[in-house]
Chains A and B, each alone.
Chain A
C-alpha cells in the first residue's frame, strides 16, 4: 500500500512538472498556477509520512532547473511553505471547505513572497500586483480538485 502510494505521489509530481514545462506564453504565463507546489501541498496534507519537507525541497530544485534561475530559490521557497503546511497539517481535519481554501491560499502566497524576497535580493524588480495572480488561479485549481473528489482528509470523515 505504501509502495503504491509513493508511486502515485511521484507520478503526480512528474505530471505537475510536465505541466510546468508546457510552452506557456503571454497571459497564460501570468496566470499559470504553481502546479508542482499544489501537488506537493496536496500530498503533504494527505499523507505526511510519504511526502515531507524533503520532497518539497527536491522538487524545488527541479523547478529551479526549469526556470533557469539561481539554484536553490524555488527549493528554499518550497521548503519554507512545506514546513508551515506540515506544522498545521493535523488541524486541517477541523477545517471546513472555505477555511481549507484560505489555508492553501496563504501557503501559496507564502511561497510567492519568499520567492519575491529572494529575487529582489538578486536585483529583480517587482512587476506589480499581477505577480500574485498564480496564487488565485492556484486555489481555483485546488477547488476543482476537491470538486473532483480529491479530499485531503477523506480518511478522517469516512472511516
Chain B
C-alpha cells in the first residue's frame, strides 16, 4: 500500500509555473561565454573551418528549397519569352560572333608571334586556365561585407582563392569553398585588393575595394600620377591569382588636393555584379594562394621602365613582359571581355 502511494507520488511534476530550470541570468552568462569563446576560436584559430563545412551540408537543402520560388519564376519567364525577343537576341549574337571571329583571327596570329617571342626570351608559356561556369545564387546576408554566394563548390573543383569573372570583367575572388556552394568576396569589398595596370600606359598599381558604395580606390599614388578620368584598369597578373588583361574598373574621378601628397582616385567596377547572373570561376591550380593576403608591391612609374621586366614577372605563369606592354598589347587580350 505504502509502495503504491509512493508510486503515485513519484511521477507527479512540479507545477509548470516553477519549471524554469536555471534562471535566465545563469543561462545568459553560460551562453554568452560560449558565444565569446566561439567568436575567438573562429576568428583567430582555424579549428571551426571543417565544422562550418559539415554544417553547411545541412543548410544546403534548405537553401535549395528557399531558392525554388525565384527559380520557378525565372524558368516560367524564360519559357514564355517571346519569339521576337529570341530572334533579336539571335541576330545580336550572330553579329557579335562575327566581330569576335575577326578579332580571334588576329589573336591567333598574335598568339603565335607571342609564343615565338617568349621562346626567344625563354620564359614561361602562358597556360590555358581551367574555368568553371557557375551562377550567383544570392547576395551575402551580412551588411558589413560585399559577398555573393555561387552554386559551385569543392565538388566542382572550386578552390578558395580562385578568381571569379563575368562577361564584362572581374567580379571577385572565392574566399570560402563549401561542398556545393562557395562564397565570393567582391572586388568592392574593403578587404580585397587586386593588382591592376592602366591599359593606356601600362602603369601598375593596386586597387582596393571601398566597402560602402560600389567603387574601388587607388590609394598611395602621387598627385602627379598619369591617370585620367575614363582610363581602363585591367588585371596585371603579377599576383598569380587573376589572369592577365581582364577588365577591372574604369576611373571615375581623380581628385588632387593641396593638403595631400596623394591623388584620390575613384573607380567604378566594370563587371556587372548587380546585373549578371552567370559567372566563370578561373583558377590557377599550380599556385597555392592566400585569398586574403593583399599584394604589397606597388611599382612607381619612374622605376618601371628601369627594372628588367622579365625578371620581375617570371614567377607569375600568366604575366606578360612589362617593358613590351605597349598600349596595344593589353588591349588585345582584354578585348573579348570589355564589350561595352
A147 in the interface (beta carbon within 8 A): no
A108-157 interface (Cβ within 8 A of B)? 118-119, 122-125, 127, 131
Which of B62, B67, B70: most chain A CB closer than 10 A?
B62
- Interface residue from A69, A83, A118, A125 paired with B28 (Cβ < 8 Å): A83
In whole Å, how far is B60's beta carbon from the nearest beta carbon of chain A?
10
Knowing A23-B67, A83-B24, A122-B43, say if A71 contacts B141 (CB, 8 Å).
no
B204-233 interface (Cβ within 8 A of A)? 211-212
A3 in the interface (beta carbon within 8 A): no
B55 in the interface (beta carbon within 8 A): yes
Interchain CB contact under 8 A, B65 and A18: yes
In whole Å, how far is A20's beta carbon from the nearest beta carbon of chain B?
7
Interchain CB contact under 8 A, A119 and B144: yes
Q: Nearest B residue to A77 by beta-carbon distance?
A: B35
Q: By DSSP majority rule, is chain B's interface helix, strand, loop, or mixed?
A: helix
Which of B16, B35, B145, B274: most chain A CB closer than 10 A?
B35
B63 in the interface (beta carbon within 8 A): yes
List, in ascending order, chain A residues with CB within 8 A of B28's CB. Answer: 53, 79-80, 83
Q: Give CA–CA (A18, B211) in the complex, Å.
A: 28
- Interface residue from A67, A71, A127 paired with B38 (Cβ < 8 Å): A71
Contact with A along B126-141 (1 / 0, CB 8 A): 0000000000011111
Binding site for A on B (CB under 8 A): 16, 19-21, 24-25, 27-28, 31-32, 34-39, 41-43, 48, 52, 55-56, 59, 62-63, 65-67, 69-70, 137-145, 147, 149, 176, 183, 190, 211-212, 274
A18-B65, A21-B67, A68-B176 known; 15 new pairs, CB 8 Å cut-off, are: A21-B59, A22-B138, A23-B66, A60-B35, A68-B149, A69-B144, A70-B39, A71-B38, A71-B39, A72-B36, A79-B27, A79-B32, A87-B24, A124-B145, A125-B212
